[in-house]
Amino acid sequence: MAGIAAEKSGTGMLDALPLSYYQIWTILMIAATVILDGLDNQMLGLAAPSLIKEWGISRDALGFIFALGFVGMAIGTLTSGFIGDRFGRRNALLIGVAIFGGATLATGFSTELWHIAALKTLAGIGLGGVPGTASAMIAEFTPARWRSVAVTFGVVCVSIGGILGGVAAALILPALGWRWLFYLGGVLTISFTTLLWFILPESPRYLLERPERRTELDAILHRIGHPAPVTVRPAAARSDAPYVPFSALLKGNLMRDSLALSVAMFSGMFMIYLMFNWAPTMLFSAGFGLQLASFGLTSFNIGGTIGAMAASLAIIRFGSRPTLIVMAITGATVCAFLAFLPMQGGRNEVAILAGLGALGLFASAAQSAMFAVGAHAFPAAVRARGLGLMGAAGRAGAIISAIAGAGLISGGNIGFFGVLAVLMLVNAAGFMAVRGHVPRLGRKDDQQ
């Protein structure tokens, strides 16, 4: 049989085939690394109340450590892309997981605050690159008709990891202490990474561009069910289209979407990482026990997981503009409810857990579609740089939230959730200002 021509993207060769069990199993293995990323990413926030009590460290010092973790994540995001393109998606993914797994395990043996600070930075380097690399691998193993669902599932796995971490913290912290949370998390991550080293295949796209690894590509395609070896079309002539500079994002029609999406990303990531890092400490300071403090973050993550999947379906039906605006405004309303709900002395446990779940369901889930909106709003010539601008704004929001969290907790739940209510209104305003929203299925894009 003649070879089947494939585009250099490496994904077109799979589009005509059904989704095989081998692809599903591979996607699940990749998604599991994102679950571990979400678990380890929130571990210090879950352990923070115990650390403050046992070591007597200040919240300001802890906020500085959280900020260092985000600096590490920014470094990891940049370096993982280089490693993925130069040495393979598989290697970039496994290196990232191994780094944060080792750093997590070592954190359990810390005896000085600077140990935790250094290890949090190192863990951030590993954590920062895993979601993006995993999303790329999932996309490159999936036929086009399943790709958006599969990638959304991969993104949601961050919240699933947070759910597992919250449940584990509720069981481990009261009985064994914070060190065992890091011991067990680190051992689990390292053990799984070792397993993946032997069974996880490389991305078909990466192999397609490397003739010396053609045998490996053919073996993977055979297991997927590809009917024949792939022949790569000759590279097309280089386009004569002029280079579009980064400054184009801040001029003309693109400026509005660039600024609006950056504002939305900044406020959204501020909210999410304030919850990840400081919500358990805020609840503990209000008089709740370690279990309730951990379950509060778990409830937020459960809501975020359900909401993200519901949001993806709503966007198909209604488009991203009404969906995200309504979710952000509802999130602001939930924040206002939590701000004025009496919490001191450990009161209103059920209402607090329900409120945190609703905050995840609407406010957190609204952020899950942000990059999909950006990919639609920015033209191909500047799309990667536009998404990078959004990502940088999100990192800035995360870093500021890490430092500001200590002060917000001092203001009680009114200060903590009051600021989040304002930020979610800013988030909604950003969504309102975006011109290039994803239209509903079956309707042509009618940017306003």
> For residue range 185-223, what is the model confidence (pLDDT) as tens digits?
999 999 999 999 999 998 887 787 777 887 888 788 878
Is residue 400 predicted with pLDDT exceeding 50?
yes
Q: Which of 392, 365, 358 is nearest to 263 (CA)?
A: 392
What does the pLDDT average to over 287-306? 88
CB 60 within 8 A of CB 294: no
Global pTM?
Answer: 0.77
What does the pLDDT average to over 275-279? 90
In SS3 terms, the chain reads as CCCEEECCCCCHHHCCCCCCHHHHHHHHHHHHHHHHHHHHHCHHHHHHHHHHHHHCCCHHHHHHHHHHHHHHHHHHHHHHHHHHHHHCHHHHHHHHHHHHHHHHHHHCCCCCHHHHHHHHHHHHHHHHHHHHHHHHHHHHCCCHHHHHHHHHHHHHHHHHHHHHHHHHHHHHHHHHCHHHHHHHHHHHHHHHHHHHHHHCCCCHHHHHCCHHHHHHHHHHHHHHCCCCCEEECCCCCCCCCCCCCHHHHHCHHHHHHHHHHHHHHHHHHHHHHHHHHHHHHHHHHCCCCHHHHHHHHHHHHHHHHHHHHHHHHHHHHHCHHHHHHHHHHHHHHHHHHHHHCCCCCCCCHHHHHHHHHHHHHHHHHHHCCHHHHHHHHCCHHHHHHHHHHHHHHHHHHHHHHHHHHHHHHHCHHHHHHHHHHHHHHHHHHHHHHCCCCCCCCCCCCCCC
Most trustworthy range by pLDDT among 4-8, 60-64, 365-369, 376-380 = 60-64
pLDDT per position as a tens digit, 418-436: 999 999 999 999 999 999 8
Is residue 147 predicted with pLDDT exceeding 60?
yes
Is residue 73 predicted with pLDDT exceeding 90?
no
Is residue 233 predicted with pLDDT exceeding 60?
no
pLDDT per position as a tens digit, 164-177: 888 898 889 988 99
Angle at 305 between CA 122 and CA 436, to 5 degrees: 90
Q: Which of 372, 350, 315 is nearest to 135 (CA)?
A: 372
Is residue 372 predicted with pLDDT exceeding 80?
no
Is residue 118 predicted with pLDDT exceeding 70?
yes
pLDDT per position as a tens digit, 85-95: 778 888 989 99
Task: Please tell me the predicted confidence (pLDDT) of residue 352.
Answer: 94
Please give the Cα distance from 34 to 330 (Å, whole number): 28
Is residue 38 predicted with pLDDT exceeding 50?
yes
Task: Please tell me the predicted confidence (pLDDT) of residue 229.
Answer: 58
Is residue 446 predicted with pLDDT exceeding 60?
no
Residue 8: pLDDT band (50, 70, 90) is: very low
Query: Please, what is the average pLDDT of the chain?
Result: 84
What does the pLDDT average to over 283-307? 89
CB 50 within 8 A of CB 173: yes
What does the pLDDT average to over 51-66? 88
Compute CA distances 307 → 94, 181, 187, 319, 335, whole Å: 29, 28, 31, 15, 16
Whether the CA torsion 39, 29, 78, 366 is positive or negative: it is: negative
CB 11 within 8 A of CB 215: no
What does the pLDDT average to over 13-28? 78
CB 225 within 8 A of CB 20: yes
Higher pLDDT, 235 or 203: 203
Residue 107: pLDDT band (50, 70, 90) is: very high
Is residue 138 predicted with pLDDT exceeding 90?
no
Mind listing the domains of the chain with CATH numbers?
Answer: 1-233 (1.20.1250.20), 251-448 (1.20.1250.20)
- Candidate from 20-24, 30-34, 318-322 with smallest mean pLDDT: 20-24
Please give the Cα distance from 154 to 79 (Å, whole number): 21
Task: Please tell me the predicted confidence (pLDDT) of residue 94.
Answer: 94
Is residue 4 predicted with pLDDT exceeding 50?
no
Cross-strand partners of 6: 232
Task: Classify residue 137 as exposed, middle or buried by CB count within 10 Å of its CB (0-12, 13-18, 19+).
Answer: buried
The encoded tokens of residue 225 equal 């069910």
Please give the Cα distance from 417 to 307 (Å, whole number): 20
What does the pLDDT average to over 250-261? 88
